[in-house]
Structure 1
Amino acid sequence: MEHEICIQCGAEVRPEEAYHVAEEAVCPSCAETDTVVCSYCGERIWRENDFGDSDTALCEACYTNHYTRCNQCGRLISFSAAYYQDEDEDEETPYCSACYHECGEAIHGYSYKPVPIFHGDAPMYMGVELEVDDGGKDPVKAKKILSIFNQTGEFGYIKSDGSLDDGLELVTHPCTLEAHMREVPWREALERFKALGYYSHQSSTCGLHVHVNRTFFGATQAEQDEKIGHVLYLFERFWQELLRFSRRTQRQVAQWAARYGYKDTGREIMEHAKKAYQGRYTCVNLTNTDTIEFRIFRGTLKYNTLIATLQLVEKLCNVAVSLSEERLQALSWSDIMLGIEPQRYPELVQYLKELRLYINAPVSVECEV
């Protein structure tokens, strides 16, 4: 009787006792230690070529055509058992059932808009959109951020954003400046973003957008248009100073926050803005029903810069509402700086000094993140 030779150990094996991997014979002992059987197609393969796990052996072809792994825990899952986020239309990021139901609601789609929760009591409310990138569109990381951000109240949520390469957008509910400074745990959340590998200023894709309620500018449409026109006038009048404050490059501003163009009065700029529709990618976006959106600012994970930005927005809006068109035209940047109360806006004063935009001597500067 002819015998087959085991490809592994060289032992002679009777044909009826031999196992085969492709065309190569293997003795029973080597078959047990060095091979497995694909759970899907039944073919015997070398153990080192097993693409499955300890419970499910898979050849490469069956794994590629029928299986994937959970993006979070790495667990082997069949295509039919994989879960995907609603915004993951191309199904590029699979999750097992446990990870999906634990973390799946941490990242909402771009169009997600919950019923707003107002924090604080003041005429002006600000909603912040902070974009971060380079740390992953990861629901587990998002959940870690939210566990800090919402630890003492429901202050915000996280959305996906197609303008980001590999990041997230943290969105707050409407808060007064005092609430942002005293209640919202911005400092802790920004530190956690950094610890998880995210960037904002250092990533060219990120912005810091601030929404202000239109009702702050007046009770009627005409009143709102007049005072919002004053805001647009301030932006055109002091464009160079505000561009420096924003930390944006000219190219970034042209792409994400274009200016309307200088005219002699806020009323003329508002009329131009209404006639020449420019969409939402403007320095002050007017397309929202309930808010105007300040889009000029570059993203940041530096606490002082973020709070200073909110303080500047409040200051400019107060100037726009309180002054007449004639007084605005006579206003200088120094006048605005002299009107800043250091006790109310300490972060703003510090930031303005860092950028040499304040009336006093500049100070040392910490790096943006």
Structure 2
Amino acid sequence: MLLPIKNMNYLPIIRFKNRWQTFDLNLHYPYSVNEKIITYTHLGYRGDACYIVDNECNTYYLPHDYAEIINDALKLHSSIYNECNTDSCRRQIITKLENINRHEYGRNDFELLNSVLAEQSRDGNYIHDRILYDTTCNKACVCDCNAIIIDVVYLHQSFVPSSTQRGRRSEITSTSLTVDEAARYNNSISFHSSAITFNNSEWDRGFINNIILNKTKTYIHQFNYIPKYIKHFMPGESEDTTLLLGAEIEVGGNNNISSDNDKNSTVKKCIQIMNGSDSDEENLIYSTHDSTVQIEFDTMPCSLEFHKNKMNYREMFEYLDKEGYKGHDCETAGLHIHANRSYLGKSRISQELVISKILYILEKFNDEICVIARRDNDYSEFAGEKQNEDSIVELYGKYKDKGKRAALNLQHKDTIEFRMFKSTLKYETFILTLEFVKDIIDYAKSVDIEEIELAKWSDLMNCFSSELRKYYEFRYQKKVKDINGSTVKQIRKRISKLKSELKNSKNFFEKNKLQQEYCYLKKEYKELNKKEKKLIKMKRRIVESETISSICIPAIF
């Protein structure tokens, strides 16, 4: 094993190749590709093309398993340089890459970013003091300060049968890694003895067979894993007339995870909690890999009453909270609810009509729905023009084109997916979210387009339970309080001051720090200004609607 080398603190460069191009992705801030600053990334969306765009408008396409490749490269980096040695640290780097959007940056902004990038170059060469993780020849080169290769780690790819090859994993063998370290890297890989090559006498078939025999069962499946779905109903409920809801519950923010085995053990425990026994059968809940969070739990399709009465969510959420996981407080974690299309209508046309009405409701009452959803970002965009939409057909097309980036994903064959909700580990909030989805669907089924056009928010709230109405009022009051706590005026004042400081600063590092704060505050200013405008609209519409009595209830997130 190589000893950590001082000053080698640059994150890896990963070399990718597709049918059109070969390019180098630099994971070190400010993120670049082929030595050009990245201005935008379209990553993390299942079913969509994965690509990045540089500041010269060149587009580079990444494989769908890019997050796993990056994670492998960062793991290798951590084993050599003792950096990025936690799941949360590596995930943060991947998440930052996935959320790059510098469309509003000006020339001065890019000049500063280019100067930061130039600091990483030595004699015009960026591949020094770091790892070049080359996927084109399945090896990683460790380079010293003079860009001389001082060691090579060989990567042997093992593919899960798939037409898209999304199930990629890397097996690592090298004279630089000990047997224990290599085993740790490959603890989630199914070994195929015919695909293994041995670069060290310590690697013998007896050792590999021992790993296979002692390999722990993996409970976190590939992200495109499709189980055999088991539908769950309460006694007396008919499959033909009952809405089935399936939840994707994402959690993250746990800084105490030391390995993937920790997550695997957590998922196993949650499955057992759901089963109410030591059984690890995945008949109620299972888990799939998601690069944006630490764990994603997926439920089987169940009726609302089954979710309420037979699923041990409260105990599972308490366990996850105790282990250090977060739902609402994890920025990237969402709660996605699937509903079966067959409940919307018997024919495809009747289903599409109900979907169109649901979309109209989402757009017309966008501001109010965001209060309940607790989320309004690029992971779940409202694709229309809110109350200004004048064509249901066009609105449907906009959502269809957005795919999984839309608040309502229409790309699934048998379900529609409500994606606008923020995750939660609060049992009450989770159940109320399921209720809200059912109420929206039932309301859309019961009214005509013309009735929705004339409806007020209070008309929709009449369909809610008293608990859901109280929850909405609580979240509304909290949103008012949050906005009042930090005013647009205060942030605008700080931005103005930062502009002056940036103009007068002569120190490069100080200027870089000020620039980062400036960019962050500009983004915050834009979001806060947007929230204030929404709040004004909501107040105006609530005055027009029935007055909802204010009731004090315990904090729910």
| Residue aligning to 1:157 | 286
Change (3 A) 1:100 1:85: farther
How much has 1:101 moved relative to structure 2?
3.5
Candidates 241, 247, 261, aligned match of 2:368 = 241
Q: Deviations over 1:191-246 (max 9, x none)?
A: 11101110011010100000001111111111111110000000000000011111
Distance in structure 2 (CA, Å) of the matches to 1:82 and 1:67: 11
Q: In structure 1, how many angstroms separate the alpha carbons of the residues matched to 2:424 and 2:214?
A: 30
Give the corresponding residue for 2:338.
211
| TM-score, normalised relative to structure 1 | 0.69
**CA offset digits 1:237-289 (Å, max 9, x no partner):** 000001111111x4xx2x10111213135444224434xx1221100000111
Tell me if 1:270 matches 2:396.
yes
**Is residue 2:221 matched to residue 1:108?**
yes
* Aligned partners of 1:83 and 1:100 also within 8 Å: no
Worse overlay, 212-221 or 145-154: 145-154
SS class of match (1:202): coil
Aligned to 1:125: 244
Give me the whole-angstrom Cα distance separating, in 1, the residues matched to 2:549 and 2:270.
37
Q: Secondary structure at 2:422's aligned position in 1?
A: coil
Once the two structures are superposed, residues 36-57 of structure 1 have per-residue CA deviations (whole angstroms, 9 ceiling, x without a partner) of xxxxxxxxxxxxxxxxxxxxxx
| Corresponding residue number in structure 1 for 2:523 | none
Any idea what the Cα deviations from partners look like across 1:154-175, whole Å, max 9, x if unmatched?
21101110112xx100100001
Contact 2:290 2:296 in 1 (8 A): yes
- What do you get for the CA RMSD once the two structures are aligned? 2.7
Asked if structure 2 preserves the Cα contact closer than 8 Å seen for 1:128 and 1:171, the reply is: yes
1:287 aligned residue: 411
- Kindly tell me the number of residue pairs found equivalent between the two proteins: 278
Trace 1:1-369 onto structure 2 (pairs within 5 A): 64-69=176-181, 79=183, 83-85=187-189, 97=211, 101-102=215-216, 104-120=217-233, 121=237, 122-135=241-254, 136=257, 137=260, 138-151=263-276, 154-164=283-293, 167-248=294-375, 250=376, 253=377, 255-262=378-385, 263-264=389-390, 266-274=392-400, 277-342=401-466, 346=467, 348-356=468-476, 359-366=548-555, 368=557
Q: Decide whether the 8 Å contact of 1:353 with 1:363 is kept in 2.
A: no
Distance 1:220 1:333 in 2: 30
**Could you tell me which amino acid in structure 2 is paired with residue 363 of structure 1?**
C
SS of equivalent residue, structure 2 residue 428: helix
Q: Which amino acid aligns with 2:555?
A: E
CA spacing shift, 1:160–1:80, aligned 2, 3 Å: closer
Deviation at 1:99, TM superposition (A): 9.9
Q: Secondary structure at the match of 1:300?
A: coil
Query: Shift in Å at residue 65 of structure 1?
Result: 2.8
- CA shift, 1:107, in A, is 1.1
C-alpha contact 2:247 2:336 (8 A) present in aligned 1: yes
Percentage of matched positions with identical amino acids: 29
Q: Which has the higher helix share?
A: 2
Contact 1:116–1:174 under 8 Å retained in 2: yes
Cα deviation for residue 339 of structure 1 reads: 2.7
Aligned in 2, Cα 1:235/1:65: closer, same or farther, shift over 3 Å?
A: same
Query: What 5-or-longer segments of structure 2 have no aligned partner?
Result: 1-173, 191-209, 478-546
